[in-house]
Amino acid sequence: MARHGMANRFTLSDALWEKIQPLLPVRVNTHRFGGGRPPADDRRCLEAIFFRLRTGCQWKALDATGLCPGSTAHDRFQQWVAAGVFQRFWQAGLVAYDELKGLDWAWLSMDGAMSKAPLGGGKTGRNPTDRGKRGVKRSLLAEAAGVPVAVAIEGANRHDMKLARATLEALAANKPWPRADAPQGLCLDKGYDFDEARELLAEFGFTAPIRRRGEEARDLTQAPGAKARRWVVERDHRWLNRFRGVLIRWCKKPENYLAMLHFACGLIAYQQSGLFG
């Protein structure tokens, strides 16, 4: 039976498969006689990877799902990470959103969020909010409507401001350069209230100032019910936390965790474009 849209949160739909399939690398038979065991079906492997992203289960637990052996899914995932499949999927989702609704570069917002990383690995650090246990920080950049356009990761003990440059340089979409008639603002909270961050904004052509410590609290007191522009990026972090495969980082390799984030951001972009219902 054909599966359309994204009605089942844990099942790969036909519409989603059609978007990812063209991005998968063509498998080359390296057997010297052209034989060997037939490779596992790409869609079955992607079904298993998608299931793990949604549920956060261990790779070995995939053996009990009937989707694909966990070792096979993990091997294929590693191959696709190296080929940049998940990053290109996110980029394709942003292109689709831009064509259908248009990416709004008038205002952007950036914020960081910390997640647990019990197994440690590269780009993890002592989480100051979790008794010094290992953790990871993801820095997310969203356009005005809240579609994620960039993400970077570092150790949980890394200050948000120190990830700002890496995040801006990790844009997954082509951002136009600001013009006099089309300025661009970057909404940041008081955690970025440093001269270094202001110099960075000027370097990238942003015009909006960073909120001074205590300034936003005074404004919200004077205008009850008002929301800071960066609420969209805070909502994106909540959306990402619904993908249990990135809510807690079980990947020791930072590139694997980043690929899962790219996969989730691509799903959000396609969902917001309306292509999946």
Higher-confidence residue of 219 and 37: namely 37
196 class by beta-carbon count within 10 Å (0-12 exposed, 13-18 middle, 19+ buried): exposed
Model confidence pLDDT, tens digit, residues 141-156: 999 999 999 999 999 9
Q: Sign of torsion, CA 107 209 261 129?
A: negative
Please give the model's pTM, rounded to 2 decimal places.
0.89
Quote the pLDDT of residue 215.
Answer: 59
Task: Name the residue with tokens 């930072």.
Answer: 254
Quote the pLDDT of residue 10.
Answer: 75
* Closest to 249 (Cα-Cα) out of 129, 127, 136, 128: 136
| All residues at 6 or more sequence positions from 116 whose CB lies less than 8 Å from its CB, including other chains | 127, 130, 133, 134, 135, 136, 248, 249
Task: Name the residue with tokens 């359309």.
Answer: 4
Tell me what the mean pLDDT of segment 100-117 comes to: 95
Look over the chain and give the mean of its residue pLDDT values, rounded to a whole number: 88
Tell me what the mean pLDDT of segment 47-57 comes to: 95
Quote the pLDDT of residue 218.
Answer: 55
